[in-house]
Amino acid sequence: KQEVTQIPAALSVPEGENLVLNCSFTDSAIYNLQWFRQDPGKGLTSLLLIQSSQREQTSGRLNASLDKSSGRSTLYIAASQPGDSATYLCAVRQKTSYDKVIFGPGTSLSVIP
Amino acid sequence: GAGVSQSPSNKVTEKGKDVELRCDPISGHTALYWYRQSLGQGLEFLIYFQGNSAPDKSGLPSDRFSAERTGGSVSTLTIQRTQQEDSAVYLCASSLETTPRGGGTQYFGPGTRLTVL
């Protein structure tokens, strides 16, 4: 059974710091891995999608890597800003007989001005 | 439309009543997903549609839950005889499936907050 975990559960950093969020999954049979952010009381916003054949994706100050064989992904945020404060979720699209999407529990990020 | 829309945004119902939640995906998106997020919990996958077909319904929490999609567009999630533990935010997402299967970015709607009294 696929399990997705995220470390740390919560993180507080001063503005301007670079930071790394971690996502681990137990079953490497995935189509892709997607990173989202969720702001309080709101829906999810897609940040980056990495296909299983890819190693990383970049968008602005965000860089996500994928090591499928070890079951790990990292989301790197450069020069953090208070507006980055949110909960960050990773999700894997699982290759089973039928498709399932399994989310991690999230990392709550707070960037202090 | 510009994005995924869901209705209603909030629903308060009494225990035992049936509710119907609606999702309008982004036009042209062939895949549609339903999730549930309970207070303090992570996102729970419920069901996935490719076109009008949902091959795997095992993610639905109980037989009180059902979902359908018509015309490859709008989807409804129906909860019969609601219970208090059904209270949650129900989120819908859609994606443009590509080849190979499973490659699409998911775009989420704002969710429906269901409260069962």
Count how many pairs of residues, chain A against chain B, have C-beta atoms within 8 Å: 60
Residue B1 reports pLDDT greater than 60: no
Q: Are A65 and A73 in contact (CB under 8 A)?
A: yes
Instruction: Say which of A34, A42, A104 has its CB closest to residue B106.
Output: A34
B53 to chain A: closest CA residue: A98
How far apart CA B112 and CA B17 sit, in angstroms, is 17
Residue from A77, A107, A104 nearest A9 by CA: A107
Q: Which residues is B82 bridged to in the sheet?
A: none
Running DSSP on this structure, what letter comes out for residue B26?
A: P
Tokens of B55: 């091959």
Residue B99 reports pLDDT greater than 70: no
Residue B28 vs residues A22, A86, B24: alpha-carbon distances, Å: 33, 30, 11
The per-residue pLDDT for range A13-31, each reduced to its tens digit, is: 999 999 999 999 999 989 8
pLDDT of the residue at A1: 83
Angle, CA A59 vertex, CA B48 and CA A89 arms, to 5°: 45
Q: Are B111 and B87 in contact (CB under 8 A)?
A: no
When scoring B41, B43, B98 by the number of chain A Cβ atoms within 10 A, the one with the most, hence best to mutate, is B43
Q: Which of A91-105, B8-22, B85-99 has the lowest mean pLDDT?
A: A91-105
List chain B residues with CB under 8 Å of A32: 102-103
Residue tagged 């429906």 (tokens): B112
Say which residue, A54 or B98, is predicted with more confidence.
A54
CB contact under 8 A, A36 and B110: no
pLDDT of the residue at A99: 66
CB atoms within 10 A of CB A76: 15
pLDDT of the residue at A55: 94
CB atoms within 10 A of CB B101: 13
CB contact under 8 A, A44 and B110: no
Residue A98 reports pLDDT greater than 70: no
Residue B2 vs residues A35, B69, B107: alpha-carbon distances, Å: 21, 20, 11
Residue A81 reports pLDDT greater than 90: yes
- The reply to whether A100 touches chain B by the CB within 8 Å rule is yes
* Most confident option among A51-55, A98-102, B41-45: A51-55
pLDDT of the residue at B98: 58
CB contact under 8 A, A43 and B100: no
pLDDT of the residue at B104: 78
Average pLDDT, integer, range A72-80: 97
